[in-house]
Amino acid sequence: MKKYLKYFLVWLLIILVDQGSKLWVYSHMSLGLDHHIKIFGDLFKFTYVLNYGMAFGWQFSFKYGKLLITFIRLFASFYIAIHILRLLAHAAPPIWIWGWILLLAGAIGNCIDSVFYGIYLNNAPDIAPMKWFHGQVIDMLHIDFWSGILPDWIPIWGGQEVCVLPIFNIADIAIFFGLGLLFYAFRRLLKSQKKEQTTNFIL
């Protein structure tokens, strides 16, 4: 069991840092794009925003769309956890395990927001039919190449305040790097299989 402890500790650390950063922003910052804490000038700063949907603010348009998103997140977290246990049981290469560990930590980090923040931080929007499972995810890491209000003549998004890169959080970073590791591991696997097939063909 000790050889698996490092995976659990990293998984737990990511969730704690993610939730700690979100609660700190909630307690110390004003909501909205007009309020910042500059880290590296205007390029990188903390900006407290809420995301009711999924990545890039995408949402389902029906009444219980957020509830569906929350249950998708919960199901994905459960599936990834089961998959990690299988990988550990079969002594899979560490790069695969690390990739899925990062994905699980990120998924759970944002699940906590969706399930509990509507109740405990009272951040469910007015359109939500209930507060449970309708919490908004807190984002704060802002790489600001450009932000502003789009002209009204632009279809759908005209008049909305946007930034070039989405504002994200620690959980999103974990998901990003988890996917990156898995993509890299998958490419290595394909190259290895291709090389093996070529060698067998020559022999």
**Could you tell me the two tokens for 16?**
């704690």
Q: Are 107 and 97 contacting, i.e. CB atoms less than 8 angstroms apart?
A: no
> Which of 18, 113, 144, 172 does the annotation list as catalytic?
172
Tokens of 136: 């908004």
Kindly name the residue from 113, 139, 144, 152 that is annotated as catalytic: 139
H or E stretch covering 161 = strand 161-163
User: Of the candidates 87, 84, 56, which has an alpha carbon nearest to the alpha carbon of residue 69?
Assistant: 56
- Nearest C-alpha neighbor of 165 from the set 59, 58, 56: 56
139 is catalytic: yes
Are the CB atoms for 18 and 141 separated by under 8 Å? no
What is the number of alpha carbons within 13 Å of residue 35 lying toward its C-beta?
10
Q: Do 113 and 141 contact (CB within 8 A), yes or no?
A: no
Q: Do 53 and 63 meet the contact criterion of CB atoms below 8 Å apart?
A: no
Instruction: Check if 126 is active-site.
Output: no
Q: What are the residue numbers of the active site?
A: 139, 172
